[in-house]
């Protein structure tokens, strides 16, 4: 859970870390009511990038945006969370 304040309104995001391959076991019933989905990959691991394509196919009905972020140094993570909120 992450709380974010946007325009003086507090929004609570419920974030799930599916740890890559576990994502495939999550059926549409779990994410069809989601307001947003983050599909992340490791730019230093090509298989990670390739796997994202399959995930995007299964959630295609959501409008997709691209954010280049870094979990390592926090680059654009806050901006991404604010946009999602």
pLDDT at position 8, please? 93
User: Taking the domains of the chain in order of start, what are their residue ranges?
Assistant: 2-84
pLDDT confidence of residue 30:
67
Per run of 10 residues, the mean pLDDT along the chain (length 85 residues) is 91 79 61 78 85 74 80 89 87
Helix (H), strand (E), coil (C) string for the chain: CEEEEECCEEEEECCCCCCHHHHHHCCHHHHCCCCCCCCCCCCCCHHHHHHHHHHHHHCCCCCCCCCCCCCCCCCCHHHHHHHHC
Give residue 28's pLDDT.
67
This prediction's pTM: 0.67
CB 10 within 8 A of CB 4: yes
């Amino acid at each position: 859970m992450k709380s974010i304040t946007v325009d003086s309104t507090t929004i609570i995001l419920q974030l799930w870390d599916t740890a890559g391959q576990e994502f495939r076991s999550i059926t549409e019933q779990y994410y069809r009511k989601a307001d947003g989905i983050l599909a992340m990959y490791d730019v230093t691991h090509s298989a990670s990038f390739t796997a994202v394509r399959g995930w995007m196919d299964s959630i295609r009905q959501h409008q997709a945006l691209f954010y280049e972020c870094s979990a390592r140094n926090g680059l654009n993570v806050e901006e991404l969370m604010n946009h999602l909120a």
